[in-house]
Amino acid sequence: MTADPARAGDSLDHPDEWVRVRAAQALVVAHDPRALDACLKTLDDGADPLPLDHTPAVFSLRTMGRPALAPLLAKLEAEDRMTRLHAQRAVEGLTRREFGFDGVSKWEPGGLELWESWWRGVGYRSDAPPEARRRAVARLGQWLTTL
């Protein structure tokens, strides 16, 4: 891992995706203010082969809380389907916390059912047609204004 957060930013443009992942993770661990942007930039790097929908950045973004939600909306409309899927997984993790998930394994009573109903209402799917995705992202953006 790139141990020095001051130098980690320089590695975010490295041609090797694992160097970029380690640089972003170094910024996350150091609670560096550049960590959010680094995770957004490396959202598709280091995908787990099984399943491909999780990357180190997805996990890190989930821990960042509300500040990560608004920037992820643009990623939900990305041209690349895998980028959209990675963003969806991060948004799902972040919004679950808003409904009472502890981020590990426990829900507040009724929280899972509330989140599932709310998420169905949002209607976002990374493989949906562009117009359906745009409408779902607009619903998410509107919801964000209520937080």
Q: What is the pLDDT of residues 111-137, one digit of tens each?
A: 999 999 999 999 999 999 999 999 999
Q: Is 15 exposed, middle or buried (0-12, 13-18, 19+ CB in 10 A)?
A: exposed
Extended strands (E) in 7-126:
none
| Spatial separation of the C-alpha atoms in residues 10 and 85, rounded to whole Å | 27
Give just the sign of the alpha carbon dihedral 33, 12, 7, 103.
Answer: positive
| Spatial separation of the C-alpha atoms in residues 103 and 101, rounded to whole Å | 5
Q: What are the residue boundaries of the structural domains of the chain, listed by start? A: 72-144
Cross-strand pairs, 101: 107
Q: What is the pLDDT of residues 61-88, one digit of tens each?
A: 999 989 999 999 999 999 999 999 999 9
How high is the pLDDT of residue 9?
63
Confidence of residue 146 (pLDDT cuts 50, 70, 90): very high
Percentage of the chain lying above the pLDDT 70 cut = 93
